[in-house]
Amino acid sequence: MSLTGGIMSSFLMGCYDPNSKKWCTVTKCSGGYDDAMLTRLQKELDVIKISKEPSKIPGWLKIIKNYYPDFIIRDPEKAPVWEITGAEFSKSEMHTADGISIRFPRMTRVRDDKDWKSATNLMQLKELFRISKERCDFEVTAGPSKGGEDDKGSSGDSGSNSPPSTSQRPVTPRKTSEYHRHGNGQSKTKMAPSMLAEPRNDKVGASLFLFHLSPTTSCSPQTLLDIFSGVKLVLPDSVQDHTKLRRYFVAYDGDLVPEYDAASATHTLTEPEEDSHAQRVTPGWIWECIRKRRVVPPC
């Protein structure tokens, strides 16, 4: 987090890596905040001043020296989630989320419906990055792959443009006046200020925040729809066309839920447990929702 005029105005956004159980940095966001929001953030964000001291960088944060913050969020799991819009994904050795970053990030709204678990994580971010690099021509003709070629990318599939969606977490917020953009068109990314922020002016501060990337961007000027927004799906690896189903579901703003957390799912491709409120759906349901551009009754 950095300070300008004595207030935190720049935020480093990041995502959670479930494998290393650490937070990785993705991009710095300084846009999308008005004066009223910045004033409110000064009071609402629970940060600790570390003044870029290497010895004070917490063990849960994976960050390089260039991005050491002045302030850091006290507890990344309690950090707010922000939706970020950007121009495109990029590669940067300066960021620790597998080198993935976002150009021209801008905070578009606070996602009160998201938390650190449902924000874009590193695996989802990598998938979104891969999709964004595939063929940009997107047609809403998605369907199960034929001949088992479900992992050939969007160049051969009917559409594989999706915005980065990364619940997304630990990031160091910097100046609050930039937005994230993906692809050639604008894309939304749900990100949560996770841990770092920087103040503006002569003082420099940084604190870290979580971020969630939400797939709403494509390589073309057209953006993908938030078809599965609010849908939490259990999608076992054993399901046919798993890779392709996952790619499209996440690209259209769906949240994947691990089987051990099936109780929080709203939909499942497996037999729901007795006390589960999840609706049983099929792979065909995912394709049907995409074709109709909305969530349809289970089929």
pLDDT digits (tens, 9 = 90+) for 4-26: 556 787 889 889 999 999 999 99
Share of the chain above pLDDT 90, in %: 25
Q: Considering the chain, what is the average pLDDT of its residues?
A: 73
Q: Which range scores top for mean pLDDT: 133-137, 165-169, 191-195, 236-240?
A: 236-240
pTM recorded for the entire structure: 0.53
Q: Which of 151-165, 183-197, 274-288 has the lowest mean pLDDT?
A: 151-165
DSSP 260: G
Structure tokens at 2: 């950095």
**pLDDT for residue 134:** 66
Type of residue at 260:
Y
Q: Which amino acid is at 49?
A: K
- Residue 57's pLDDT is 94
Provide the H-helix boundaries in the chain.
Answer: 35-44, 122-133, 242-251, 283-292
CA-based end-to-end distance of the chain: 47
- Name, in order, each residue with C-beta under 8 angstroms of 147's C-beta and a sequence gap of 6 or more: none
Residues 6+ positions from 148 with CB-CB distance below 8 Å = none
Domains of the chain: 2-153+163-222 (2.40.50.140), 225-299 (3.40.50.10190)
Which residues are CB-contacts of 58 (< 8 A; sequence separation ≥ 6)? Answer: 72
Cβ contacts of residue 57 below 8 Å, gap of 6+? Answer: 50, 63, 68, 72
